[in-house]
Structure 1
Amino acid sequence: MAKKCASKDPDGPCRIVEIPQFTCVPKPHDGGVVVHCVPIPRLFRLCPNRPAVEVTRVLNIDLSTGEVEIPQALEQKLPKGKAWADVIRYDTNP
């Protein structure tokens, strides 16, 4: 995956990482089953001391070259997230 960065600080502490996920379909073949799997690339933004955020849908990806362009306004396009340690669970049964 090549990366073309359009953000103001391309060498900042955050980075984009790729994690392949696979979708698989079993198909009958010669009395048995053959499983056909296709990779689905998922891209995440990792910043120190913050939860990872999936950014696959907000990045511009050139499918012919694999080059990824990070938009200028990436921060405004990302959802707000919390670390699991910051999530408060309220018990509904007293």
Structure 2
Amino acid sequence: MKTLIYVEKEQLPGIKLAHFEVLNTQEDVKHRDKQLMNALTLGNLDHLKVKLHLCDADMNHLLVETTVWAVTDTRVCLKGNINIPKKAILQVEINELLIQN
């Protein structure tokens, strides 16, 4: 298992993130898309942060806590006008209590 490296969102522009799909199945991709939409709603309505598990170009696992402001077909826009490739996201970690209410 790879070590999870915590990074600040401000560091992301200096990191070469994966531009290839890091997930193995179409089902995983659909789940990530659903979680990103939940994160987008939480970010826009309540300005709440989520944890994004990312892969860099060398497949190191990174963790960043941030607010998701926009989601396109290929990119995710974070607070501070930082854009990352959607394909680099392994997992979106949302406190499930936040989306049950």
By the TM > 0.5 criterion, same fold?
A: no
User: TM-score under structure 1 normalisation?
Assistant: 0.25
Higher-strand-fraction structure: 1
Higher-helix-fraction structure: 2
Larger radius of gyration: 1
